[in-house]
């Protein structure tokens, strides 16, 4: 899900080697080299807004200015960071890479026989410095979909934080809290568990549309459709819940379809077949606009991974998905529910669900 991005990223982002050891990053880099056998160098760009690829290979999340990782087959990795000399020291705790220099040091770097990742996040002027260098971003995205045991553990922690935050929102809403109070209860619960970042969307029109939390809303809403995303150890978990003080038939229908979709997921399962099952089972309800084109999305160091909707796409062992079922009667009845699901060798594990 795309959400409003904070102006300044302030959450804890230090590298935690006990959770994500240097050997894990080295293995990822080696996998990348196998994907680009002809390349001698990889140039990897990240910004405060778009940094999934950079975080995946370096753990660094730029907070103010862009950063660039330089990977070489023959030399130690380097990080070039923007934002002035003060950012050199500030960046060191955020990454396993030891050689950190100002971004302007790129001027003297050999760019021959290289590939570029994240070039679409650069300014036009910065991108011109790399000429016609091949784009290897899609190759890395393919690699990022299969999660290691360390990644699954990180996402598991994010899911635990998401669970605590959603429980706090629902409890506050049932107790009569206004929209602001309910959302702040969720954010507080996430922050108490050490979340790096918390994003929220909600509805004040019965779940028909979603909006970001930008101003105080001193009114109670029942039911309250809520979306929360939390990040921990650089990995995201997200979820939709319809918080309500009384049963909602449309939410119960959406939850039943979600459970059926989860039960159908196993290695090799067709994404198209699962989508068709949801389509057939929704009966008289329409598909909610939010989930129409993104009912299954791979989640990791980014919230904006490409939707998993291709006709030939299949679920595979080691992948982790956010599954969403959204229904509407095109009037005042609407509901979106979701789950975080890990695909294992003989089925799937639910890491978090709205049920």
pLDDT digits (tens, 9 = 90+) for 262-311: 999 999 999 999 999 999 999 889 999 999 888 998 999 988 766 665 66
**Per-residue confidence (pLDDT) for residue 85, from 0 to 100:** 78
What are the pLDDT digits (tens) for 24-38?
A: 999 999 999 999 999
Domains defined for the chain, CATH in brackets: 22-145 (3.40.350.10), 149-353 (3.90.230.10)
Q: Which residues lie across from 61 on neighbouring strands?
A: none
Q: Which residues contact 105 (CB under 8 A, 6 or more apart)?
A: 80
d(Cα 333, Cα 350) in Å, to the nearest integer? 27
What are the pLDDT digits (tens) for 116-143?
A: 999 999 989 889 989 999 999 999 999 9
Percent of the chain's residues with pLDDT above 90: 78
Q: What pTM did the predictor assign? A: 0.93
Residue from 337, 299, 304 nearest 319 by CA = 299
Q: What is the DSSP letter of 107?
A: G
**Per-residue confidence (pLDDT) for residue 330, from 0 to 100:** 87
d(Cα 194, Cα 265) in Å, to the nearest integer? 31
**Tokens standing for 236?**
């995201």
């Amino acid at each position: 899900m795309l959400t409003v991005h904070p102006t300044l990223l302030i959450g804890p982002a230090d590298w935690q080697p006990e959770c994500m050891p240097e050997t894990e990053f080295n293995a990822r880099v080696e996998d990348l080299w196998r994907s680009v056998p002809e390349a001698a160098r990889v140039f990897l760009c990240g910004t405060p807004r778009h940094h999934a690829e950079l975080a995946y290979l370096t753990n660094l999340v730029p907070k103010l200015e862009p950063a660039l990782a330089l990977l070489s087959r023959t030399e130690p990795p380097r990080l070039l960071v923007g934002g002035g000399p003060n950012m050199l020291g500030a960046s060191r705790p955020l990454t396993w890479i030891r050689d950190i220099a100002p971004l302007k040091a790129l001027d003297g770097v050999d760019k021959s026989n290289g590939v570029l990742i994240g070039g679409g996040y650069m300014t036009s002027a910065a991108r011109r410095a790399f000429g016609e260098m091949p784009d290897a971003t899609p190759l890395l995205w393919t690699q990022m979909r299969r999660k290691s045991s360390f990644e699954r553990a990180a996402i598991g922690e994010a899911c635990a934080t998401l669970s605590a935050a959603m429980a706090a929102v629902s409890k506050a809403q049932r107790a009569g809290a206004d929209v602001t109070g309910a959302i702040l209860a969720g954010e507080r619960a996430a922050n108490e568990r050490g979340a790096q970042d918390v994003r929220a969307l909600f509805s004040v029109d019965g779940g028909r549309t979603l909006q970001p939390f930008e101003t105080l809303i001193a009114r109670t809403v029942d039911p309250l459709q809520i979306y929360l995303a939390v990040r921990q150890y650089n990995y995201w978990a997200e979820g939709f819940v319809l918080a309500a003080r009384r049963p909602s038939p449309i939410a119960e229908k959406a939850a039943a379809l979600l459970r059926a979709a989860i039960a159908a997921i196993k290695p090799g399962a067709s994404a198209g077949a699962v989508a068709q099952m949801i389509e057939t089972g929704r009966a008289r309800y329409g598909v909610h606009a939010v989930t129409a084109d993104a009912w299954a999305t791979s989640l990791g160091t980014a919230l904006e991974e490409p939707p998993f909707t291709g006709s030939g796409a299949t679920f595979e062992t080691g992948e982790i998905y956010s599954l969403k079922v959204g229904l509407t009667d095109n009037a005042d009845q609407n509901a979106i529910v979701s789950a975080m699901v890990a695909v294992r060798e003989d089925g799937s594990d639910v890491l978090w669900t709205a049920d």
